[in-house]
Amino acid sequence: MSLLEVKGLKVAYGGIQAVRGIDLVIEQGELVCLIGANGAGKSSALKGLIGLVQHHGEVRFTGERLNGLPTHAIVAKGMTLVPEGRGIFARLSVAENLDMGAYTRRDVGPVRLDLNRVYDLFPRLAERRAQLAGTLSGGEQQMLALGRAIMARPRLLLLDEPSMGLAPIMVQKIYQTIAEIARDGVTILLVEQNAHLALQVSQRGYVMESGSVVLTGASQALADDPMVKAAYLGE
Amino acid sequence: MDIFVQQLINGLVLGSIYALVALGYTMVYGILELINFAHGEVTMVGAMSALAVIGALLGAYPQAPALLVLPAGVLAAIMVCMALGYVIERVAYRPLRRAPRLAPLITAIGVSIVLQNAAMLIWGRSYISFPAILPHGSHPILGAVITDLQIVIVTLSVLIMLGLTLLVERTRLGRAMRATAQSREVAELMGVNVNTVISATFIIGSALAAIAGVMVSAYYGLGHYYMGFMLGLKAFSAAVLGGIGNLAGAMLGGLLLGVIEALGAGYIGDLTGGFLGSNYQDVFAFMVLILVLVFRPSGLLGERVAQRA
Ligand SMILES: Nc1ncnc2c1ncn2[C@@H]1O[C@H](COP(=O)(O)OP(=O)(O)OP(=O)(O)O)[C@@H](O)[C@H]1O
Ligand SMILES: [Mg+2]
């Protein structure tokens, strides 16, 4: 049984068809990327999976149908989304943001361990734990968003453009962390406009164009594909 | 007798009641950006339910001790108002969550009218007086007088405000409320059931309103189906004065409004050479509100609400 099985996922906003029936399969432990140009429908697909927007089609997570469940219930089942733009709580402290990540968890001991782990990964967050999250720099906010996702101990982590708007050095740090989270056994679906980066860290990928998946395969094969090279890698 | 000290005391008492009601407005606004105009009527329902229960108890057991009858009345008021707050949100506001802002605002006014009329049908049009079971001692202080009832009202209000602050700042529910106020979508992504949090907000605000309603009717010795209107308007003004959406602002705004109003009422006769009497005290509340909004549109402690509104 695959961790995530999606059949014919559709998302529409009024008359606009953002996602036009896509199929995705993700196995336990994989790091899969979803790439595509601006407006291809990547974010909409993620929002559909986690129930933030109205959608049609079948979404099975750990074999169970998710359709119709509210977002918070899906989150409680082990799916976590780090949204585009990070979505940190600016007027909560860094520590409170991290606490919110563990909102559905009752296992106090392991939560404390995860918190220490986040502070080890990002000492900057530890220094600023009492500070309002809104005062953090963009890169620090992305660290916080990732740290908050770690606090949820998800089975499937959906990441929407974690590199967006960050300086190269910060992008490197964020991607190191993503690789580390993946090594811990967390399954990840990574959405990126930066196809280079995404195809480097992932094992498999999907390419989306105007709401549909047009190509899928091993990341290496995608990186060598002439169409992908021309359209997304600028080669 | 020192008029200044006396009016200051009276103002603080009144102000702490305004603050309790203002908290309900501000909590709901903080989370939904909705002005729950029916909130004033919830205080009225609280007062009237307490009066009804106290009256019934005293009717059945005329010798029942006040220490039993009063808490029973307050408890009944709290239960009724919590249920009412929950139902108002479910029935009147939740279906309009995605509607344009004007829709829930108009609905809120509709709910007020319904509640007023329902109260009139249930409890009649005449004033209901508070039974004489309240403590009536008084103590001299700094050339003025403070009554037992005033001490009880202020102490209880302060305790409730402390409790609410702890709830919001220190508990899991409080953190979820603050998160929901900042972004409903992201709060859901953390696994927060936003609908539950919103219900909890209405329920807590309504419990405070119930207590405030009983306090007002005890303080003035009266209850009336129309009493929620002016109280609600003033508490709303207090919330805006302090910066709507901000809890500390609602507390500060309530206290300030009470004090300004009392001092104004105490001195307006002297100031205008007897032309205006203390019956003009209501004018002060709204004058202050207008002044503050002219010079500080976001209220004393608020962020820039004007941008969001
Ligand atoms: N809330 C919305 N209301 C209406 N249309 C929307 C909404 N969100 C997205 N769209 C439209 O849906 C389409 C897909 O948008 P989406 O954000 O999913 O793309 P994306 O692949 O994530 O793009 P980007 O790389 O720029 O983030 C776009 O045409 C967009 O304009
Ligand atoms: Mg996007």
Residues B23 and B85: their CA atoms lie apart, in Å, by: 14
Residue A205: which CATH number?
A: 3.40.50.300
pLDDT at residue number A87: 95
Q: Say if CB A198 and CB A192 are below 8 A apart.
A: yes
Residues B70 and B62: their CA atoms lie apart, in Å, by: 13
Q: Is the per-residue pLDDT at B308 higher than 70?
A: no
pLDDT band at residue B304 under the 50/70/90 scheme? low
Closest chain A residue to the Cα of B182, Cα to Cα: A89
pLDDT at residue number B1: 66
Nearest-CA residue for atom 31 of ligand 1: A39
Q: Is the per-residue pLDDT at B146 higher than 80?
A: yes
Contacts of B188 in chain A (CB under 8 A): 52, 70-72, 75
- Which of A41, A75, A36, A35 has its CA nearest to residue A55? A41
Q: Write out pLDDT tens, residues B174-184.
A: 999 999 999 99
Mean pLDDT of chain B: 92
Residues B221 and B131: their CA atoms lie apart, in Å, by: 8
pLDDT at residue number B309: 32
pLDDT at residue number B285: 76
Nearest-CA residue for atom 24 of ligand 1: A38
Closest chain B residue to the Cα of A100, Cα to Cα: B190
Those residues of chain A that have pLDDT short of 70 are none
Q: Write out pLDDT tens, residues B6-53.
A: 999 999 999 999 999 999 999 999 999 999 999 999 999 999 999 999
| Domains observed in chain B | 2-295 (1.10.3470)
Residues B173 and B168: their CA atoms lie apart, in Å, by: 7
Distance from CA of B166 to the nearest CA of A (A): 15
ipTM above 0.90, yes or no: yes
Q: Say if CB B296 and CB B249 are below 8 A apart.
A: no
Please report, in angstroms and rounded to a whole number, the separation of the first and last CA atoms in chain A: 38
CA A50 from chain center: how many Å? 11
- Which of B111, B115, B93 has its CA nearest to residue B34? B93
By residue range, what is the domain housing residue A65? 4-232
The model's pTM is 0.93
How far apart are the CA of A142 and the centre of ligand 2, in A? 15
How far apart are the CA of B125 and the centre of ligand 1, in A? 57
Max CA separation in chain A (angstroms): 50
Question: What is the tally of structural domains in chain A?
Answer: 1
Q: Which helix (H) or strand (E) element contains residue A215? A: strand A212-218
Q: Is the per-residue pLDDT at B281 higher than 90?
A: no
- B262-269 long-range CB contacts below 8 Å, 24 or more apart? B262/B7, B262/B8, B262/B10, B262/B11, B262/B14, B262/B15, B263/B4, B263/B7, B263/B8, B263/B11, B265/B7, B266/B3, B266/B4, B266/B6, B266/B7, B267/B3, B267/B7
User: Does the beta-carbon distance from A152 to B191 stay under 8 Å?
Assistant: yes
Report the residue of A91, A103, A141 to disrupt the B interface, i.e. the one with the largest count of B CBs within 10 Å.
A103
Q: Smallest Cβ distance to B190: which of A52, A75, A91?
A: A75
pLDDT at residue number B74: 97
Q: Is the per-residue pLDDT at B305 higher than 60?
A: no
Residues B163 and B159: their CA atoms lie apart, in Å, by: 6
Evaluate the CA torsion angle B51, B57, B60, B64 in order and state its sign. negative
Q: Is the per-residue pLDDT at B279 higher than 90?
A: no
